[in-house]
Structure 1
Amino acid sequence: MGIASMIFWIIAGIALWVATDFLLGRKQHLANAKKYAFPDRYSDLEIFAKGPELFEDLFSEITNARQHIHILFYIVKDDKLSHEFVSLLKEKAREGVEVRLLVDWIGSNLKRKTIQSLKAAGVEFAYTHIPKPPFLFYSSQVRNHRKITVIDGHVGYLGGFNIGDEYNDHDPKLSPWRDYHLKITGEGTLDLQKEFLRDWHCASKVNLLQNKAYFPPLPKGTIRQQFVPTEGDSLESLIVTLISESRESIIIGTPYFIPSKKVFDQLNAAIARGVSVTVLVPYKSDHILVKEASYRYLRSLLKDGAEVYQYSKGFYHAKVMMIDDNICDIGTANFDKRSMFLNYELNCLVYDPFFIKKVKHILTEDMLDSHKASLADFRAGNLFLSFKETAARTISFFL
Structure 2
Amino acid sequence: MASKLPNMMEALVGDRSTLARLANYGLGKSSGNGVKVKSIPIPLISENEVLVRVACVALNPTDFKHVDILAREELSSAAIFRGLLRKLGLKQPKNGPIAGMVHGGLYPDRGSFAQFLKTNGDLAWKIPPGVSDEDATTFGVSAITAMLALNTRLDVPWLAENANQGQGRKDTPILIYSGATAAGIYSIQLAKLAGLNVVATASPRSFDLVKSYGADEVFDYRDQAAVDQIIRAYPSLDRAMDCFSEGSSTEFCAKCVRKNQGKVVTLLDSGKTTMDGAQIEFILGYTVFGSEFQWLPPFGPKFQKIPSDNEALRRFYSTLPDIVTQLRPPPLKIIDPGLKNLATGLEMLRQGQVSGTKLVARLE
Q: Computing the radius of gyration over CA atoms, which structure comes out larger, 1 or 2?
A: 1
TM over 0.5: no
Indicate the structure with greater helix content: 1
Q: TM-score range by the shorter chain?
A: under 0.3
TM-score normalised to the size of structure 1?
Answer: 0.24
